Amino acid sequence: MTYFEGFIVPVPEGNRDAFAAHANKMAPLLRQCGVHRQAEAWGSDIPEGKLTDFRKAVAAVPGETVVFAWFEYADRQARDAANERMMSDPQMMEMGTDVPFDAKRMIFAGFEGIVEDGAPSGSYVDGIVVPVPTSSRDGYAQLARENAKVFREYGALRVVETLGDDLSHGHTTDFYRAVNAEPNETIAFSFIEWPDKAARDQAWQKIMQDNRMRHGGGIFDGKRMFWGGFDVIVDTQRSEQATTVPVSA
């Protein structure tokens, strides 16, 4: 199953174009290093939570929004090899020193895919971060599979659920702090791809009334889960599909 590198990034609200330009400039180099898909999504509908939320996760300050992003790899081995190439590539290192955001507060980690339902596409994404007891990994995976069917029925193009596989503790921010993780908890980094925000909003009205939806009771602490909606501003797979020339019959 696909391996994911997940990111949450604090970005000044006025730097949307600069952020997209920087991500697009990095894309060919990332592809050469082994990234199959690079997706960057700009904060659009990010609720404020009492305990946790996307802004708190990266200590966002007034005037900043949050980018939810991920890289896709064939497996963990491919991701590790790609990271080694990135760290030794002079161009990558140079571009990494000149970014339109505070990299010290960016958080990222490696995640193992446990559910992939649908095909990568769409212009809007729901991002979700959840603390999951390590003893409940199997239960969470079963819950995720059942809920994915409901999301897909109401128009989701793709549902991805992952569990932390390579997480570290940071000096300022990290995924553990983002959800106030307790000992023996890991992190689920998940997302739902939609055709657009209107389709997402209409679907959620129906999803929340569907009795088949399970909300994690007994499997994880929903009070520390957080989520938000994001506009996809960079998607290398979509860009490649748009520039592919059909072969004549």
Looking up residue 233, the CATH number of its domain turns out to be: 3.30.70.100
Reported as a pLDDT band with limits 50, 70 and 90, residue 96 is confident
**What confidence tier does 243 reach under pLDDT thresholds 50, 70, 90?**
very low
pLDDT at 249 > cutoff 90: no
Mean pLDDT of 164-174: 95
Task: State how far the Cα of 22 lies from the Cα of 7, in Å rounded to an integer.
Answer: 15
Does residue 82 form part of some domain? yes
Mean pLDDT of 210-235: 92
Confidence of residue 216 (pLDDT cuts 50, 70, 90): confident
Residue 248 lies in a domain: no
Does residue 17 register a pLDDT over 80?
A: yes
Residue 155 is assigned to a structural domain of this protein:
yes
For residue 242, being part of any structural domain is answered with no
What is the pLDDT averaged over residues 143-170? 97
Tell whether the model's pLDDT for residue 206 goes beyond 70.
yes
Q: Mean pLDDT for the chain?
A: 94
Average pLDDT over residues 107-134: 97
Give the pLDDT confidence score for residue 242 in this predicted structure: 56
112 is in which domain, residue-wise?
3-237
Q: What is the mean pLDDT of residues 211-238?
A: 92
pLDDT (tens digit per residue) in 67-77: 999 999 999 99
- The rounded percent of the chain whose pLDDT value lies above 90 is 88
- The answer as to whether 23 is a domain residue is yes
Q: Is residue 69 part of a domain?
A: yes
Count how many domains the chain has.
1
CB 188 within 8 A of CB 128: yes
Q: Which two tokens stand for residue 103?
A: 């990299």
Mean pLDDT of 19-41: 97
So what's the pLDDT on residue 95? Answer: 85
Q: Is residue 189 part of a domain?
A: yes
Tell me the mean pLDDT in the region 45-52: 97
3-state secondary structure labels for all residues of 87-142:
HHCHHHHHHHCCCCCCHHHCEEEEEEEEEEEECCCCCEEEEEEEEEEHHHHHHHHH
Tell whether the model's pLDDT for residue 240 goes beyond 70.
no
